[in-house]
Amino acid sequence: MSDRNINVEIDGYFAVSPKRDCPHLATALDADLAHYREVNIRSPCQDCDNVGENWVCLICQQVKCSRYVSSHGLAHYSDTNHSLAMSFSDLSVWCHLCDSYLEHDSLDSLLRHFRDLKFGPDVSSLASNLEEMKIEEEPEEAEEESKEKASGFLGTKSIRDLALALKNSEYKKIAIMAGAGISVSAGIPDFRSTASGLYAQLAEYNLSKPELVFEINYFRNSPEVFFKVVKSLVGDFKPTPTHYFFKLLEQKGCLMKIYTQNIDGLEVKAGVSRDKITFAHGHMESSHCSVCKAEYDNALMKTHLENGTVAWCECGAPAKPDVVFFGEALNPEFYSSVQMLREADLLIVCGTSLKVFPFAGLVTQVGEKVPRVMINREASGQSVGMQYDNPKSRDVVFIGDTDEVFAEIARHADWELVCE
Ligand code: OAD
């Protein structure tokens, strides 16, 4: 792959799932944290003094800017062959040689180190240290601490207080990041839930990893698997109470934007205006050939999707709906709408494992003091810096089904949640 291509791929230009078996990690990474102590998360690029959007080389600790600035990170890799770098924006780790984001247990201590630099020390680990040393907190001190806690609903981090803040119009520009979990009650499986997720149903295909179904190169060679598997994702599904809650936020005038990874279009079906939605991973409204890019008749595509048969283009290659596959570029609309996140005054993340980049990194794009609410069956997002154990954190997690949590929010806010 040429440097130019690498230049295009870095910084999450493609939809990617982090790689877990990078062979360069063990040999190249010097995980002795002493070397990183000097690195300041706000250090400027050593070549152009840019601050923000920088990366730190995990081999020699040099700080370089991203391709969105002057591509000095890429130039550093070309000059030195140092292949591992970490983004100061979302703390993702990239390997130039694998052309992939990485996820590996050996990165944990490094991530913790940079997370502490970026967000402050993890209070939960401090607390457990205190426990081991048998130091008992004085009640007065506990009171002192509670005074330092955030105000508003973050002070108690309760659903009720969030609802009251919404009722009192304290948030006027709400951004939502959504994933497959919000459509599960409509009958569409999510991807990674252990028993019921789509990826758990693929044993018969003997795939080396389930994400292959949605990888563009794999699709070009073996399109049959995608067309068989995707059948469970298409059909005449109805929006869920969660989708209708989004509509309610729009009616109340406080919905700024929904960033969804879903391709089911249920936000639109629930009545949310199209210009309020960014379909980060594409949609099913049009189709193209995966090789020659010729437009493919979408009605015909729909029939193939329903029947589980391959849609062939006249050129002999398989066509697919305009859903973003792993290895494909995200829609430019995604990048332009990301800028808007900086204006958000509240971020709600729901029904997503936050495992896929660059989408997961969006949580880092809102202002540093903007509250971030996670509503999910499990607490996800820690790998992109969300902190739920720290009482001073602006993050909060409400564990549960999104339909139930949003219904409770509506109830406490005295809002009528109408599900047609
Ligand atoms: P995942 O399947 O990775 O995560 C869904 C999350 O929703 C999990 O954490 C579930 O526990 C949670 N969940 C399930 N049902 C729920 C419910 N009723 N209420 C609350 N939470 C619930 O799905 P995504 O994060 O959306 O990309 O996956 C991201 C991307 O990975 C997808 O867009 C797709 C996939 O590979 C591509 O194919 C490019």
Ligand 1 pocket test target in 215, 330, 352, 408 with most atoms within 8 Å of CB: 352
Q: Cα(353) to centroid of ligand 1, in Å?
A: 5
Q: Cα(57) to centroid of ligand 1, in Å?
A: 31
Give the closest residue (by CA) to ligand 1 atom 19. Answer: 401
Around ligand 1, the residues with Cβ closer than 6 Å are 15, 179-181, 184-185, 190-193, 197, 211, 214, 261, 281, 324, 326, 351-353, 355-356, 376-378, 380, 401-402
Ligand 1 pocket test target in 185, 356, 382, 405 with most atoms within 8 Å of CB: 356
pLDDT in tens, the chain (420 residues): 332 222 223 244 455 677 888 888 776 665 566 677 667 777 888 999 887 778 988 888 899 988 767 889 999 999 998 999 888 877 788 888 888 888 877 787 777 777 766 655 443 332 222 222 222 333 444 444 444 556 678 888 999 999 999 999 999 999 999 999 999 999 999 999 999 999 999 989 999 889 999 999 899 999 999 999 998 888 899 999 999 999 999 999 999 999 999 999 999 999 999 999 999 999 999 999 999 999 999 999 999 999 999 999 999 999 999 999 988 878 888 888 988 999 999 999 999 999 988 888 899 999 999 999 999 999 999 988 899 998 889 999 999 999 999 999 999 999 999 998
**Sheet strands (E) in 243-381:** 255-260, 277-279, 282-289, 295-296, 319-323, 346-350, 372-376
Ligand 1 pocket test target in 190, 375, 397, 405 with most atoms within 8 Å of CB: 190
Output the six-digit token pair for 110. 């490094």
Please give the Cα distance from 200 to 241 (Å, whole number): 26
**Model confidence, pTM:** 0.74
Q: Please tell me the predicted confidence (pLDDT) of residue 380.
A: 94
Give the closest residue (by CA) to ligand 1 atom 18. Answer: 401
Q: Cα(356) to centroid of ligand 1, in Å?
A: 10
Q: Please tell me the predicted confidence (pLDDT) of residue 31.
A: 56
What single string gives the DSSP state of each residue in 356-418?
SBTGGGGGGSS-TTS-EEEEESS---GGGT--SS-TT-SEEEEES-HHHHHHHHHHHTT----
Q: Which atom of ligand 1 is nearest to the CA of 375?
A: 20
Helices (H), 222-263: 223-229, 241-251
